[in-house]
A and B are shown apart, each in its own frame.
Chain A
């Protein structure tokens, strides 16, 4: 049962108790979120079962296709801004030809997964939290539990699969658009030919850069769906609670994306 009865405890005696309780609750939340992630992951073998196939497909559509517009703009402009800022600086050393390398490496390693993660956390993550939160306060989650339908399987698993698949795919898309955006700025503002730009862009970037980035975005997908579902399933107190769940989802996802992004980079590039 994913629905839990409310934990009602006495107000903390003093500041230390409040801090301690907040820490314990954060720890508990992390543990429960992780258990939910594992529970939903355990349901993935039912991905193609008749019961879940349509839901999975719908979520793939929602996450992947419906986000394409905003991801396109974000990817393109991330590359353009990178190229412009770095290009103007490098021009002082007569090295503006290297922007291809800089844009492609920073997009592949960091900016692609990171920007995609932020966009999806803000759009899809908040939407999942709001939907799950509304369902929680509207007794729909409880109804599913009572009917013997696991919300982890029926609601979380399709979203988990959708984000785990679509985040890396969207990141590839963002990367390509970012590199292309850099080329536009290179050609129009810095006077670098397209050939020189792309030659530079792909000469020094490695497959490691690409795939570590994709691994990161896969992790970001798991983070977003876990945080969003956790916040949604634990929402209380009606509309206010739903709003709070949404806000916490965006904040927590952003923070975790930053921190996890750092540690993955640390792990692969020492």
Chain B
């Protein structure tokens, strides 16, 4: 579905991604974890063309998004729904208008259809009856969910989550994780998640990849990831107090 081919990204003399290659399969949830500044967001931005690699290519299906131009970029990007770290809601539009925005601006649909679809997606993320509120009047967690509703309102094939749980308390974070998992099951979409929260990663990921010094230290399903003997992974797991998958399950049981 998405393929990175020897992607190298440099900022000046600093190499962030060093010839990285991986495939994301249709319908899976691919989680990229790593410490701050390890390049996980850069990897994601290369995927949605906010950055282009110095070397290598990024493929989305049969399209090379890293080398596409003009209208092709727009066409390829239409397959994505993106939840930004800050939710990136327009502050002067209320919740409903924010969710309706991509439909209103990019598709020719009757206003009633647009509103119905927005209401449906808002219900899907558990936000009924807040359509009239302004983004500044709702909590961070709600904002993320509005952002998510907006990302899925165009019915994308791929949903990209940039730090979906950052800045949220653990309870809300777990709710968001369950929501992501839920969406994958109900909509059958491919998901790409970038996070530093290992609980989320291990809970929702089909595969979890650890970025370290521009390369993947480990890329494996959650059970294998937890069992990895790679020192960077072990440090990371220890820092978040995870010894095995039971710790993750317990976190979601409460």
Contact = CB atoms under 8 A, between A and B. Distances in A.
Answer yes or no: A and B touching, Cβ < 8 Å: yes
Interface string A1-37: 1010110111000000000000000000000000000
Interface in B66-124: 73-74, 77-78, 80, 82, 84-86, 88-90, 101-102, 104-106
Contacts of A143: 82, 84, 88
Interface stretch (A103-111, A144-152, A168-176): A144-152
A51 interface: yes
Contact of B88 (A8, A140, A148): A140
Given A147-B106, A148-B78, A10 B84 contact: no
Interface in B36-92: 48-52, 73-74, 77-78, 80, 82, 84-86, 88-90
Contacts of A5: 50-52
Q: Which of B49, B104, B105, B154: most chain A CB closer than 10 A?
A: B105
Given A1-B73, A140-B89, A149 B105 contact: yes
A43 B134 CA distance: 28
- Give the secondary structure class of A's interface: loop
A50 B103 CA distance: 12
Interface string B148-184: 0010001000000000000000000000000000000
A1 B105 contact: no
Interface string A112-131: 00000000000000000000
Contacts, number: 59
A24 to B, nearest CB: 17
A3 B77 contact: no
Given A5-B52, A6-B11, A139-B88, A148 B74 contact: yes
A138 interface: yes
A4 to B, nearest CB: 9
Chain B interface size band reads 20 to 34
Chain A interface size band reads 20 to 34
Q: Which of B85, B89, B90: most chain A CB closer than 10 A?
A: B90
B12 interface: yes
Contacts of A163: none
Nearest to B73: A1
A97 B80 CA distance: 71
A148 B50 contact: no
Given A147-B105, A148-B106, A142 B12 contact: no
A154 interface: yes
A146 B77 contact: yes
A149 B49 contact: no
A40 to B, nearest CB: 15
A51 B12 CA distance: 40
A51 B109 CA distance: 11
29 contacts: A1-B73, A3-B50, A5-B50, A5-B51, A5-B52, A8-B11, A8-B12, A9-B12, A10-B12, A10-B13, A138-B86, A139-B84, A139-B85, A139-B86, A139-B88, A140-B88, A140-B89, A140-B90, A142-B84, A143-B82, A145-B77, A146-B48, A146-B50, A146-B82, A147-B105, A147-B150, A148-B74, A149-B101, A149-B106
Given A51-B105, A139-B86, A147-B77, 7 more contacts: A5-B50, A8-B12, A10-B12, A135-B90, A140-B88, A146-B48, A148-B78
